Structure 1
Amino acid sequence: MEFVSALAKQVFEKVKGECGQPSEIEGLKLYASLEKVDLMPIVLQPSICFVLQAEKHVSTGKQTFVYSEDTYLINSVTRPVEASLLDVSQERPYVGFSLAIDQQMVGQLMMEMSPWQQEASSHPQRDFTQSTKMTPAIENVVTRLLGLLDNPMDRDILAPSIFRELYYEVLKGPGGGLLRNCVSNHAGANRIAPVVHYIEQNFERNLAIEEIANVAGMSASTLHEHFKQVTTVSPMQYVKSLRLHKARSMLSSGYQVAEVCYEVGYSSPSQFSREFKRYFGFTPSEARSLVSTIE
């Protein structure tokens, strides 16, 4: 089996054939796959994502973000996406990892960096997700972070400081605004970020557009316009998409269809089945038999 780096081999051996699993370091998740994936619906969490081998595409409506060994992905809010794995084979597997964004740590760093980054922090962000070129400094931090996996004492003592260093390097770079999206309310996408956070925390309820607009401090029509500019869909389309992606994930994990239906906010099983099939092309029952190959 071919690996482009010792790190890729190390992570692949840690995953042990499972597509995605938490590591011994809290917030760090490892991924590997021997199969190419053309399209898989997932719910992308606020995270910084790296590919150690192969290539990954994440699509959100009209946008597609590509990242591989020389780039990384920053995502600042929970959002439904379509993911693909390319340049993958049994001989050359996909290997990657993601780091959940610690909002408290990022917020603390932002305050400490503000005397030097006041101008940068005021720049509006127009999206929630961005693919950014890897830098030597970030590559160095990543190498040291993954080097902690095999030593429990190193993990417990050094991981927090290395996380902080990684966030620091990302905040200094062109993708830093995406991290600021997680904890700030600036112009552009940052104005919509609190709305998305509210939806992700309440999507299983019967949300009305008026309630969401009230959270945004906008009229329903103004919210609709700004929300669609950033996410390419309307607020209510986003609610439905998040519900259905969550349902897809639960069904793939073995939950019963009726249980999932009510858990994600549908009151009618027939409506749930109808909308699920229209969105994914197969029924909820069929989804339970499909095994996810990536998350």
Structure 2
Amino acid sequence: MGDLLRYLAPLEGYTQSRLEGVRFLRCNQPVARTPVLYEPSIVIVCHGTKRGYLDGQVYLYDAQHYLVLSVPLPFSSETDATAEKPMLAVSIRLDMTLLAELLIALAGEGAPHLMPPVGIVSTPLDHHLQQVTLRLLEALASPLEAKVLAPSIVREMYFRVLLGEQGVALRSALSLQGYFGRIARVLRRIHAHYSQPLNVGDLAHDAGLSVAAFHNHFKSVTRTSPIQYIKSIRLHHARLMMIRDRQTAAAAAARVGYESQSQFSREFKRFFGRSPAEEARCMAELFALLPARHEADSGQMMRVQF
């Protein structure tokens, strides 16, 4: 798979595949531990190694392990790669409508629940999923096969994941029953309205939980508190606005809901390790070193990071 992905992702950074929702990533150098924001997705690393860090836990995803996120999560990640041995990965964004259709088809099949539902987990990549991934990459190498075959292969990939060890997290995230589904619903609200005032008491009410129970269940899913989660989402979006839209720090802070620019600058530096101005300058220098890309690609590159 590594050689095929080298062909599909010839440039460092993100490459949009011929199928919406599927992207390739190539990294030719090591990347130190950095805050990232992942959308609900399946991430399969075909060559190289990545490690995710969240609340004292380490999530390995490499040629032998894959990552699934059933809810959007901010965490930190690092990459092992060199120019001779680049990190090559494919990310498949989760289509919740398609997942729901498969869950209906799987109802009553008694798929095993081997673990409690969580928002992020990495597990061994089995033979079935390896073969599905290879067939997906082969299909995406051809315009005709990408159009005709790739969607059904993605559907099969969902099926394999739902039946596997990580399937319980996805099933719970789609269900409105149980605390995991309630927290997933609240997370969708946060991501849709992160720039508006978000009161923990109101979020707990939406989840049908007491504030204390909401805090406990929220942390069991996201590994962080509601306030810290909201803050990290706002900071990631502000960073994106500054880089993609060339917004000033003051404008980005206001757009994501900060009333105090000084508070925004302090929290931004604490979170990313650089001031807003330093971060914007560093990312501008990085993009200047990359080959020219379509404007939409650069926006997508910064929207959700590996």
Q: Structure 2 length as normaliser, TM-score?
A: 0.87
Go from structure 1 to structure 2 and tell me whether the alpha carbon gap of 1:41 and 1:93 turns closer, same or farther (over 3 Å shift): same
RMSD: 2.0
Which residue in the other structure is 2:254 paired with? 262
Deviation at 1:259, TM superposition (A): 2.9
Give 1:1-295 correspondences, 5 Å limit. 7-86=1-80, 88-117=81-110, 120=112, 125-187=116-178, 189-253=180-244, 255-256=246-247, 257-291=249-283, 295=306
Q: 1:77·1:182 contact (CA, 8 Å) conserved in 2?
A: yes
Q: Note the alpha carbon deviations across 1:92-118, whole angstroms, 9 max, x for none.
A: 11100100001111111111111212x
Partner Cα separation in structure 1 for residue 4 and residue 280 of structure 2: 32
Amino acid aligned to 1:229: S
Partner Cα separation in structure 1 for residue 240 and residue 66 of structure 2: 24
Q: 1:124·1:187 contact (CA, 8 Å) conserved in 2?
A: no
How many pairs are equivalent? 286
Deviation at 1:36, TM superposition (A): 0.5
SS in structure 1 at match of 2:26: strand
Q: 1:54·1:95 contact (CA, 8 Å) conserved in 2?
A: yes
Amino acid aligned to 1:69: A
Partner Cα separation in structure 1 for residue 28 and residue 77 of structure 2: 15
Deviation at 1:218, TM superposition (A): 1.2
Q: 1:145·1:159 contact (CA, 8 Å) conserved in 2?
A: yes
Amino acid aligned to 1:213: A
SS in structure 2 at match of 1:148: helix
Which piece of structure 1 moves more, 249-258 or 55-64?
Answer: 249-258
Q: Note the alpha carbon deviations across 1:62-120, whole angstroms, 9 max, x for none.
A: 2221011011110011111111112x212111100100001111111111111212x64
Which piece of structure 1 moves more, 242-251 or 184-193?
Answer: 184-193
Q: Percent identity, aligned pairs only?
A: 33
Give structure 1 stretches of 5+ with no counterpart.
1-6
Partner Cα separation in structure 2 for residue 255 and residue 8 of structure 1: 35
Q: 1:243·1:265 contact (CA, 8 Å) conserved in 2?
A: yes
Q: Structure 1 length as normaliser, TM-score?
A: 0.90
Deviation at 1:188, TM superposition (A): 5.2
Go from structure 1 to structure 2 and tell me whether the alpha carbon gap of 1:124 and 1:54 turns closer, same or farther (over 3 Å shift): closer
Q: Note the alpha carbon deviations across 1:186-216, whole angstroms, 9 max, x for none.
A: 4353442222222122211111112111111
Deviation at 1:157, TM superposition (A): 1.1
Which residue in the other structure is 1:3 paired with? none
Q: 1:43·1:246 contact (CA, 8 Å) conserved in 2?
A: no
Amino acid aligned to 1:183: L
Q: Note the alpha carbon deviations across 1:189-247, whole angstroms, 9 max, x for none.
A: 34422222221222111111121111111122221122223333221111011111222
Q: 2:28·2:82 contact (CA, 8 Å) conserved in 1?
A: yes
Q: 1:56·1:83 contact (CA, 8 Å) conserved in 2?
A: yes
